[in-house]
Structures are given as structure tokens and as C-alpha cells.
């Protein structure tokens, strides 16, 4: 029996490489963030903390630049540092802009030219959000097949709802893959392999829907993982582990690498639960 997931993936061919911001640029200073010009440039713990805080609370109005525009359309060659210079008194606080938009920009080193930022302020706090794109999006369906140890992938016809199998499908998974899910941005897929007690992680190709294992995949889970859930910001993943006999059910928790999709266990993981855990979900009211 196949376990099925539908994923929406952004339209093709618009991602641009960048440094600590989101589009490649030719800055003059070697210390300027835009000169770290590789997609896998690291994010410091302080930058990640700034992003996490902004994702939850926005930023104080007092941190806004005096002439911050209400709207801004991202241009080819833009960087978060450059955009932050228009909106914030301190451009070095660019991780706050990333944090407020991580559901749409899971990787702070890539951006879509043409996206529109909108500034809103209320009760002394401000947020800068990307407008949802109206561009057509591809839709893909993924089905975990325990019998074959694979994941089948299909493109959905937006008019008829019909399925066309993607070249290269089915894609190899672990032993007895029981479920599949994706991150909110539709850039990574996560498959629970029951008999291996692992999670296979794949990068989703935006134009074809094909799956490519990320470096380090599969990742160790608890005993008999059943399902994976990703939080709305795409920063953490949670796995329901069934357990058996003396091994009770647990929840494995991971931090998701924004650039690679790789999983790193959070402190204290796995977390104890009752026996026979089969499902987990995350909600942000």
C-alpha cells in the first residue's frame, strides 16, 4: 500500500545564488555579507537567534529606518544586507528579515527576484512580509511504497487532476517506508523508514519534482518511526516513533538545516511518550 502526499513547489528557474543575503552581488568589501558568495555559507548562532525572535515577534518600530518604504520589489542582485539598509537602522540585522519570511525563504542564501515585501506596523511592532506569489506552481504527488522500499513521484495536471509519473520515479528509500511529508516551502521531502528506524531526506527539484538524497541521509530516528511533521517555519521536524516492548514510543525532534534540509537532533531528543505512537503534527494558531 502506498502512502500519498501532495506537494506544491514554486515555479522553475528563478532561484539565484547569494552570500549571506539572497542574490549574488559584486560588493566591494570582502567583509560585506554579500561577498560570502556561496549557497552553503554558514549562519552564526547569533544570526539564527535574531531570525527566530523576528519570526515570532517582528521587530520594534524604533528599529525601522526613517524612510522605510511600505513596499519593495526585490531586484536581481539584491542582498538582505542591502534590503535591510532600506528598512532598518542597522543593516547588520538582516537575519530579522529572513526570520519574518522563513516559511517562504527556508534558505537565506536564495531569493526570487520580483517578490514583493510589504511593511506593516501595529502596537509598536513591525513586520516585513513577502506577498504570496501569484505565479503558477507545479503540483507533485509523492507516495511511500513499503513493499518496494521506494517513493513514487507524480506531476499533477492542474486542469484534469491526472497523474504523470516523474522521470526517475520511483526513488529509493529505506526499508519499509511508511509515510512521506515535505517542508512548507516544498523544497525538501522527509520519509519515515520503519524497519531501518531512519528518516530519508530528499531535495525536491523545483522544475521536475525529482528527489535527490541530501548529504547525510538517512538520519537516525527512534524505534519504528511512523510519521514526520515539520513546523510552519520549516525549522524543526518531529518524528513519531512507535517503539516496541521495552522500547516505548518516543518523539524525535530535529533542527532542519535551512540550506541542506539535513536533520540535527535537538537537545533532549528523543522525548518520551506512551506506547505505540503513530502520528504527530505541529500547529501554529
DSSP state at residue 217: -
Residue with cell 531501518: 196
Range 203-215 burial, b when 16+ CB lie within 10 A, else e: bbbbebbbbeebe
Homologous superfamily of domain range 137-272 = YVTN repeat-like/Quinoprotein amine dehydrogenase (2.130.10.10)
- Please measure the distance between the N-terminal and C-terminal CA atoms of the chain and give it in whole angstroms: 33
Largest Cα–Cα separation, the chain: 63
Nearest to 165 by CA among 148, 151, 179: 151
pLDDT for position 9: 43
Q: With contact defined as beta carbons under 8 Å apart, do 166 and 208 qualify?
A: yes
Q: What count of other Cβ atoms lies within 10 Å of the Cβ of residue 118?
A: 13
Q: With contact defined as beta carbons under 8 Å apart, do 257 and 264 qualify?
A: yes
C-alpha cell at 139: 503540483
Distance CA 184, CA 203 (A): 13
Q: How do residues 72-84 score in pLDDT, each as one tens digit?
A: 888 877 777 788 8
pLDDT for position 19: 27
Task: Please give the torsion angle defined by the CA atoms of residues 65, 66, 70 and 75, in that order, rounded to the nearest 10 degrees.
Answer: -50
Instruction: Give the distance, in angstroms, between the CA of residue 102 and the centroid of all CA atoms in the same chain.
Output: 7
C-alpha cell at 106: 527556508
Q: Where are the domains of the chain?
A: 15-130, 137-272
pLDDT tens series, the chain, 285 aa: 556 565 544 322 222 222 233 343 222 333 333 333 333 356 788 888 888 888 788 888 888 888 888 888 888 777 777 888 888 888 888 888 878 877 667 666 666 677 788 888 888 888 877 776 555 568 899 999 999 999 999 999 988 999 999 999 999 999 999 999 999 888 899 999 999 999 999 999 888 999 999 999 999 999 899 999 999 888 899 999 998 766 688 999 999 988 889 999 999 999 988 778 888 888 877
Q: With contact defined as beta carbons under 8 Å apart, do 263 and 219 qualify?
A: yes
Instruction: Give the distance, in angstroms, between the CA of residue 260 and the centroid of all CA atoms in the same chain.
Output: 9
| Predicted TM-score (pTM) of this structure | 0.60
Q: With contact defined as beta carbons under 8 Å apart, do 20 and 42 qualify?
A: no
Distance CA 98, CA 100 (A): 6
Q: Where are the alpha helices (H) located in the chain, listed in sequence order?
A: 45-57, 80-87, 94-99
pLDDT for position 108: 67
Nearest to 227 by CA among 173, 283, 177: 177
Provide CB contacts within 8 A for 230, sequence distance 6+.
181, 182, 183, 184, 190, 236, 237, 238, 256, 282
Q: With contact defined as beta carbons under 8 Å apart, do 23 and 16 qualify?
A: yes
Provide CB contacts within 8 A for 99, sequence distance 6+.
50, 51, 52, 53, 54, 55
Q: With contact defined as beta carbons under 8 Å apart, do 18 and 109 qualify?
A: yes
Amino acid at each position: 500500500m502506498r502512502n500519498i502526499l501532495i506537494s506544491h513547489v514554486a515555479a522553475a528557474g528563478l532561484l539565484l545564488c547569494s552570500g549571506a543575503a539572497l542574490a549574488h552581488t559584486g560588493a566591494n568589501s570582502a567583509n560585506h555579507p554579500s561577498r560570502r558568495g556561496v549557497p552553503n555559507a554558514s549562519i552564526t548562532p547569533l544570526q539564527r537567534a535574531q531570525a527566530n525572535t523576528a519570526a515570532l515577534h517582528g521587530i520594534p518600530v524604533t528599529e525601522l529606518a526613517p524612510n522605510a518604504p511600505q513596499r519593495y520589489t526585490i531586484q536581481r542582485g539584491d542582498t538582505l544586507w542591502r534590503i535591510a539598509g532600506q528598512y532598518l537602522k542597522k543593516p547588520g540585522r538582516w537575519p530579522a528579515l529572513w526570520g519574518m519570511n522563513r516559511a517562504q525563504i527556508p534558505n537565506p542564501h536564495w531569493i526570487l527576484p520580483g517578490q514583493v515585501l510589504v511593511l506593516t506596523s501595529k502596537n509598536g511592532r513591525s513586520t516585513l512580509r513577502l506577498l504570496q506569489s501569484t505565479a503558477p506552481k507545479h503540483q507533485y504527488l509523492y507516495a511511500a511504497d513499503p513493499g518496494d522500499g521506494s517513493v513514487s513521484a507524480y506531476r499533477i495536471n492542474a486542469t484534469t487532476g491526472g497523474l504523470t509519473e516523474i522521470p526517475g520515479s520511483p526513488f529509493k528509500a529505506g526499508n519499509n517506508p511508511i509515510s512521506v511529508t515535505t517542508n512548507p516551502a516544498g523544497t525538501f521531502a522527509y520519509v519515515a523508514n520503519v524497519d531501518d528506524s531512519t528518516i530519508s531526506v530528499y531535495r525536491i527539484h523545483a522544475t521536475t519534482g525529482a528527489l535527490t538524497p541530501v548529504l547525510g541521509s538517512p538520519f537516525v530516528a527512534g524505534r519504528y518511526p511512523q510519521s514526520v511533521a515539520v513546523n510552519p517555519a520549516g525549522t524543526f521536524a518531529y518524528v513519531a516513533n512507535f517503539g516496541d516492548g521495552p522500547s516505548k514510543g518516543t518523539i524525535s525532534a530535529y533542527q532542519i538545516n535551512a540550506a541542506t534540509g539535513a536533520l540535527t537532533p535537538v537537545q533532549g531528543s528523543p522525548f518520551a511518550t506512551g506506547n505505540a505512537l503513530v502520528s504527530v503534527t505541529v500547529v501554529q494558531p
